[in-house]
């Protein structure tokens, strides 16, 4: 793994796709990062109630070559400045003062953005911008909290001249995907990566030869199977802030990066479009 800093984020992103035995190992590592670097593979297997071969399979699943490499990576991550706050500022409790609540909310959202930044692949961002730039039309699919990010994308892209539509109704998503052509681009947004209607729409679009992009929090989930370009966020659930509330912040950041990248590639045209659209709004504002 090229970037050791994303090891824990990678493990977390794979949780929904792991079988029960591998998930036990993943959760143990995430909950005990300081302990792992001191354990032998036999001890970790025993603590998790799995075979040593299962630990080896887990190591391969996260892209490492050996258990020793896993221990070295974790040791390098946790040595020195240990991020204790990652394991303290993780939820709001009934004992919290307003000041503590403010600190925790800011921390939770900042952490989501910083973790998402670590997962951003520049080549994938560039490929996504290119796919959006060439598209005659962009159809965006999202449901629940992800629909907020989809609406943000529509507002951004159409203000710089891209034909753009969003759909959250399963029937409309299906019709939309069936009518797209190879000249178009489809974007599916699903934090879980398992929203059936969004997955089906992206699948149908891909079968029609459409360039497909997904924005999700979890790797190796169904939506990634039908995306030519995969963009990942990194958020964690909490009692008061379920995935739809925190994930949309990270999703919108990804959308804004794509929008800004596209605008810069066509800078003069984009500026004119933005100025023109701003002028059109002056009569409706006090």
Q: Which residues belong to CATH 3.40.50.10490 in the chain?
A: 119-282
The model's pLDDT over 110-148, given as tens digits with 9 standing for 90+, comes to 888 999 999 999 999 999 999 999 999 999 999 988 999
Angle of helix 20-31 relative to helix 41-48, nearest 10 degrees, comes to 110
How many Å apart are CA 126 and CA 258, to the nearest integer? 8
Binned at pLDDT 50, 70 and 90, residue 220 comes out as very high
Q: Is there a contact between 237 and 243 (Cβ–Cβ < 8 Å)?
A: yes
pLDDT more than 70, % of the chain:
90
Q: Is there a contact between 213 and 186 (Cβ–Cβ < 8 Å)?
A: yes
Q: Which residues belong to CATH 1.10.10.10 in the chain?
A: 4-78
Three-class SS of residue 166? strand
Q: Is there a contact between 230 and 224 (Cβ–Cβ < 8 Å)?
A: yes
Three-class SS of residue 229? strand
Helices and strands counted in the chain (H then E): 14, 5
Tokens representing 159 are 């203000």
Q: Is there a contact between 188 and 197 (Cβ–Cβ < 8 Å)?
A: no
CATH classification for the domain delimited by 119-282, as one of 3.40.50.300, 3.40.350.10, 3.30.1050.10, 3.40.50.10490? 3.40.50.10490
The model's pLDDT over 60-103, given as tens digits with 9 standing for 90+, comes to 999 999 999 999 988 888 775 444 444 344 577 778 889 888 88
The model's pLDDT over 253-273, given as tens digits with 9 standing for 90+, comes to 999 999 999 999 989 988 988
**Which residues are paired to 216 by β-bridges?**
232
pTM of the model: 0.82
How many Å apart are CA 74 and CA 102, to the nearest integer? 31
User: Is 3.40.50.300 the CATH number for 4-78?
Assistant: no
């Amino acid at each position: 793994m090229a970037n050791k800093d994303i090891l824990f984020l990678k493990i977390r992103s794979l949780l929904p796709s792991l079988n029960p035995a591998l998930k036990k190992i993943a959760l143990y590592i995430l909950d005990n990062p300081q302990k792992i670097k001191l354990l032998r593979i036999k001890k970790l297997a025993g603590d998790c109630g799995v075979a040593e071969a299962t630990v080896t399979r887990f190591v391969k699943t996260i892209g490492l070559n050996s258990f020793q490499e896993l221990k070295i990576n974790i040791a390098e991550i946790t040595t020195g400045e240990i991020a204790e706050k990652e394991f303290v500022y993780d939820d709001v409790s009934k004992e919290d003062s307003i000041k503590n609540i403010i600190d925790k909310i800011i921390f939770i959202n900042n952490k989501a953005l910083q973790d998402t930044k670590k997962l951003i692949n520049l080549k994938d961002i560039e490929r996504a911008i290119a796919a959006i730039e060439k598209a005659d039309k962009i159809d965006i699919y999202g449901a629940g909290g992800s629909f907020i990010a989809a609406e943000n994308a529509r507002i951004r892209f159409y203000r710089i001249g891209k034909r753009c539509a969003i759909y959250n109704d399963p029937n409309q998503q299906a019709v939309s995907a069936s009518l797209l052509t190879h000249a178009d681009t489809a974007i599916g947004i699903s934090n879980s990566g398992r929203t059936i209607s969004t997955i089906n729409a992206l699948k149908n679009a891909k079968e029609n030869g459409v360039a497909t992009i997904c924005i999700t929090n979890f790797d190796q989930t169904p939506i990634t199977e039908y995306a030519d370009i995969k963009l990942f966020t990194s958020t964690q659930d909490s009692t008061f802030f379920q995935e739809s509330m925190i994930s949309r912040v990270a999703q919108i950041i990804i959308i804004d990066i794509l929008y800004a990248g596209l605008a810069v590639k066509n800078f003069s045209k984009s500026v004119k479009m933005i100025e023109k659209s701003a002028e059109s709004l002056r009569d409706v504002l006090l």
